[in-house]
Amino acid sequence: MKNLLNFLARYNNLIIFLILEGITVYLLATGNNYHNTRVVNGIRGLINGIEERINITRTYLSLREINENLAAENVALRNSIGRLVKKENSLFFSVSDSIYRQQYLYTSAEVINNSINRQKNFFTLNKGYLQGVRVDMAVTSGNGVAGVIVGCFENYSVAMSILNLDFKLSARIKSNGYFGSLSWDGRDYCHAILSEIPQHVSVNMGDTIETTGYSAIFPEGVMVGTVSDFEKIGGDFYKITISLITDFKKLHFVDIIGNMKKTEQLELEKLFQ
């Protein structure tokens, strides 16, 4: 007993160190569930309040730019409405369609916290599950992909940005339809990597890269960026560098997109796996 006490007294330093490191490793290992734990939830709520204050100031400073972007988006939307109206009036589409149902729901949100300089970047949005946001919804900014919701609180949600080593997205070259896997290599916030495109496919600088919609998260055809560089590596595939269309340094207003037929698709796919 005495020996044990001596031992403890002698190495108390090391023991406390190991216990504390143990706690941190546990926190690290349970990483993603972290967002959902209740304790953290409370603290996050408080911190989000502070971050929102900071954000209000920041938004005010860039109001002019935001207005311009909104105006441009309005024009684009008006144009697409114009096209739709015309379609309805034309002879072929004048049938009242009972099969067609809206597949994607859109809602807008504001980014209240964002980072681009880590290896695993997340951003926080000011809408949560009370506003209908759920985990695994897509987040786009203007016309480009921004991220995926990974955690929801009552009034806030956290999204994993493209700029995260764990982010994977199915994307394709618009001109020829070949699809591959998009990920970020952690180097800089303007570029991502598209891999798994076979070498017989013709790739050109400036080709548009868009989402495929295979993952049931993003709708088909949301723009990701343009090809800025490509090289042949090792085996049979290209390594295509994409310059992202979304500017993560000034991410402000984003759209959250929910896929209403997602469970249907996933359940069906599950049957065959």
Partner 1 sequence: MINSILRFGLIFILLILLQILLFNNIQFSGYVNPYVYVMFILLLPIEIPSWLLLLLSFTTGLIMDFFSGSPGMHSSATVLAGFVRPYVLRVISPRDGYEPGSDPSMLTYGFIWFLTYTLLIVLVHHTALFYLEVFRFADFFRTMLRVLLSSLFSITFILLFEYYRRRK
Which residues form the interface with partner 1 (CB under 8 A)? Answer: 12-13, 16-17, 20-21, 23-31, 34-35, 40, 43-44, 47, 54, 115-120, 122, 124, 158, 165, 186-189, 249
Q: Give the Å distances, CA to CA, from 198 to 41, 142, 183, 191.
A: 45, 30, 17, 20
By beta-carbon proximity to partner 1, the closer residue of 24 and 90 is 24
**Shortest distance in whole angstroms from residue 238 CB to partner 1:** 20
Q: Which is nearer to partner 1, 54 or 268 (CB)?
A: 54
Instruction: Between 16 and 268, name the residue whose CB sits nearer to partner 1.
Output: 16
User: Residue 165: what are its φ and ψ, rounded to 5°?
Assistant: -60, -20
Q: Based on CB atoms, which residue is closest to partner 1, 188 or 269?
A: 188
Shortest separation between residue 65's beta carbon and partner 1, angstroms: 17
Distance in Å, CB of 117 to partner 1, minimum: 5
What does the alpha-carbon distance between residue 81 and residue 112 come to, in Å, rounded to a whole number? Answer: 30
In the bound state with partner 1, the residue whose beta carbon lies nearer, of 12 and 175, is 12
Give CA–CA dist 201/107, Å, rounded: 37
Q: Cβ 218 to partner 1, closest distance in Å?
A: 23
| Residues 6 or more apart whose Cβ sits within 8 Å of residue 226 | 206, 207, 208, 209, 242, 243, 245
When the beta carbons of 97 and 231 are compared against partner 1, the nearer one is 231
Give the integer Cα–Cα distance in Å for 160 and 115. 10
Least distance to partner 1, CB of residue 115, Å = 7
CB nearer to partner 1: give 30 or 143: 30
Q: Which residues pair with 104 in a beta bridge?
A: 259
From the CB of 27, what's the least distance to partner 1, in Å?
A: 3
Q: Are 171 and 212 in contact (CB under 8 A)?
A: yes
Report in angstroms how near the CB of residue 119 gets to partner 1 at its nearest. Answer: 5
